[in-house]
Structure 1
Amino acid sequence: ARYGGRGGLPGAGRQVSRTGPPTVGGRWSLLPAAVADPTVRAHALAHTLLDRHGVVTRGAVAAEGVEGGFSAAYRVLSAFEDSGRARRGYVVEGLGAAQFAVEGAVDRLRAVNNVRERGELREPGEPVLLAAADPANAFGAALPWPEPPAGVSQKPGRKAGALVVLSSGRPALYVERGGRTLLAWPEGNDPDGASLRAPVRAVADAARRGLLGTVTVERVNGNPVLGDPVWSRLLEEAGFHPTPRGLRMRP
């Protein structure tokens, strides 16, 4: 039999489309059938929250969109405390008293605090680029986002496709989906943008490796990037190239 010509299989020879609705994008896995027992599901959810966050707060539960909110998770987490599987307390200052944590998370936080009190904290490492909605990014969940610089109306958020660059544990850059708009938090009095050089390089490196696709930065903190000498220099030093629309990085 012949395939792909007249009399062949229906549709043979046509180019197969690799596009589809956004809801079917990403990586798929075959999962076992869902458990109907609500008690089992609630316990599994509580385990997931503790494993994912280490310290579960009201903000972390809200960011996860848990059905029933924090009050629903609180009942199960309290039962975990009674059985010794979690600890409740004022683990992180400023996040309220209703915090639940696994033993290892409390020990690690205490160790870091002891090092800080002794003045032995090491110099911060390289900036970390994360998806804004990644559980490893506490901002917008357990912690509030820092206020944008004065005069900037753009607000960060835990949005699909958005990125955040953390430097010394704080947001330095927020990249809107598609990369056209950046929100930047320079450190202190930094007119030359020296504190943002490494965060910009982190975005450029990810784009260069093909993790972000083509990125064309058009605006930073609400202002056009073209004609801005500081941002043009920072982006070009990181490998971006000027175009009529903005500064571009291709994989």
Structure 2
Amino acid sequence: MSSDLSASALHWTQHLLDSCGIVSRELVQQLSPFGWDELFPVLKQLEQWGVVTRGLLVEGVGTLQFARREGIEAVRRPLPARAGNAVTVLAATDPANPFGLAADWPAARGAGFARKSGSFLVLQHGRWRFWLENNGRHIVDLTAPPDEPDAAARDAELPAALRDVFRALLRQQKLSKIKIDRWNGAPIAESPVADVLKTLGAERDNRSFVIWPSGLR
């Protein structure tokens, strides 16, 4: 590899480390103009210099990954947990989200998983809870079927969980409102969650529901 190509490969390696936190073969194949065979020697050199550490950093992903030493604890640390039944809303494009790059998306019907702006993962109790597309226009409930043992408790948590999600989304995206068109692929007005949204202050807008910051309760 020429010195110019080496410098460019180093630049891309550092860019991937900074923007994604973890670098793996799959990530390189999707995002880098260089192949894994070209960036792997760069990662090995950075490892020898003490800049990065290699390992199986994402649980359930069996391929080799690299991350900066100073960020290794943050990579291994669980996503921020909050008290009670509060949720964690994570942008699909956030470097802390390994799905779609280092890990496969979960198996779920009706969810158009993609690392794109306006899409969000929602976790509760350390488990997948919702998938949001287009800043909440389509919401997919990723929980277990209704005959699961914890279904009753999960349904009881739904209003509080959605309230936390909407508040976080309004704050993070600096939105003036959230317009919801679909729930699990069905029109929101015809979905079983319609009454729950009304209790949260949602207003009907033709076949959509609108959540306003001032009306959220």
> Is contact 2:111-2:131 (8 Å) kept?
no
Q: TM-score, normalised by structure 1?
A: 0.65
The verdict on how the C-alpha distance between 1:109 and 1:205 changes in structure 2, with shifts beyond 3 A counting, is closer
Q: TM-score, normalised by structure 2?
A: 0.73
Aligned mates of 2:168, 2:53 — CA distance in 1: 38
Runs of 5+ unmatched residues, structure 1: 1-35, 114-120
The verdict on how the C-alpha distance between 1:223 and 1:40 changes in structure 2, with shifts beyond 3 A counting, is same
Aligned mates of 2:82, 2:111 — CA distance in 1: 33
Aligned partner letter, 1:140: G
Aligned mates of 1:213, 1:122 — CA distance in 2: 25
Q: What's 1:200 paired with?
A: 162
Q: What's 2:187 paired with?
A: 224
1:215 aligns with 2:182: no
> Is contact 2:187-2:207 (8 Å) kept?
no
Q: What's 2:134 paired with?
A: 177
Deviation at 1:248, TM superposition (A): 0.7
Deviation at 1:107, TM superposition (A): 4.5
Worse-matched range after superposition: 219-228 or 204-213? 204-213
> Is contact 2:88-2:124 (8 Å) kept?
yes
The verdict on how the C-alpha distance between 1:93 and 1:177 changes in structure 2, with shifts beyond 3 A counting, is closer
Structure ranking higher in strand proportion: 2
Q: What secondary structure is seen at the aligned counterpart in 2 of 1:161?
A: coil
Higher relative contact order (CA 8 A, sep 6+): 2
Deviation at 1:234, TM superposition (A): 3.0
Aligned partner letter, 1:204: F
> Is contact 2:85-2:161 (8 Å) kept?
no
Aligned runs of 1:1-251 on 2, under 5 Å? Answer: 37-62=4-29, 65-107=31-73, 126-148=86-108, 152-186=109-143, 188=148, 189-190=150-151, 193-206=155-168, 208-209=170-171, 211-229=174-192, 231-251=193-213
Deviation at 1:95, TM superposition (A): 1.9
Percent identical among aligned pairs is 32
Deviation at 1:172, TM superposition (A): 1.8
Q: What secondary structure is seen at the aligned counterpart in 1 of 2:115?
A: coil
Aligned mates of 2:65, 2:170 — CA distance in 1: 40
Deviation at 1:66, TM superposition (A): 1.3
Structure ranking higher in helix proportion: 2
Aligned mates of 1:136, 1:167 — CA distance in 2: 16
CA root-mean-square deviation:
3.3
> Is contact 1:80-1:86 (8 Å) kept?
yes
